[in-house]
Amino acid sequence: MVLLQQNLKLDLKMAIIITDECINCGACEPECPNNAIYEGGVEWTMAEGNTISGTITINGDQEVAVDAEQAPISDDLYFIVPDKCTECVGFHEEPQCAAVCPVDCCVDDPDRRESEEVLLKRKESLHL
């Protein structure tokens, strides 16, 4: 049983967040395969950069139109929309934002752990 729990933990990845060390250079934004990265203060939509239509659930239980504009997550710094981030699963071996960030401020979020299966399903739901 202990071994099973350890394996389960190993399968979980952590979502990527941008910390307040961000210098607003913009290098990460074009690298994201899901268009999950936005400049501070910019409204975002689930549909932007993806191929979905209709409605989708975000924040766990909130159903929204995919083209409805949502409030910025940060007003001052670049931010990542968690419901659009797949941690690059299905596209790349490693998070591309973290790979290009010159100040290493795209980091794992220990409060948001998701399995590879969940991330792959998200990728499929964003790119129909």
Binding site for ligand SF4 (CB under 6 A): 16, 18, 22-28, 31-34, 36-37, 78, 80, 85-88, 95-97, 100-101, 103, 105-106
Q: Which CB atom, from 21 or from 67, has the smaller least distance to ligand SF4?
A: 21
Query: What's the residue count for the chain?
Result: 128
Q: Which CB atom, from 6 or from 126, has the smaller least distance to ligand SF4?
A: 126
Tokens 């071994």 belong to residue: 3
Q: Which CB atom, from 46 or from 106, has the smaller least distance to ligand SF4?
A: 106
For residue 35, the 8-state DSSP code is: -
Minimum distance, C-beta of residue 17 to ligand SF4, in the bound complex (Å):
9
Q: Hey, what are 53's tokens? A: 């239509």
3-state secondary structure of 82: coil
Q: Which of 59, 53, 65, 77 is nearest to 126 (CA)?
A: 53
Minimum distance, C-beta of residue 74 to ligand SF4, in the bound complex (Å):
10
Q: Hey, what are 85's tokens? A: 């981030």
Q: Hey, what are 91's tokens? A: 């596209």
Minimum distance, C-beta of residue 2 to ligand SF4, in the bound complex (Å):
31
Q: Which CB atom, from 6 or from 112, has the smaller least distance to ligand SF4?
A: 112
DSSP percent split of the chain into helix, strand, coil, nearest 5: 25, 25, 55
Minimum distance, C-beta of residue 4 to ligand SF4, in the bound complex (Å):
28
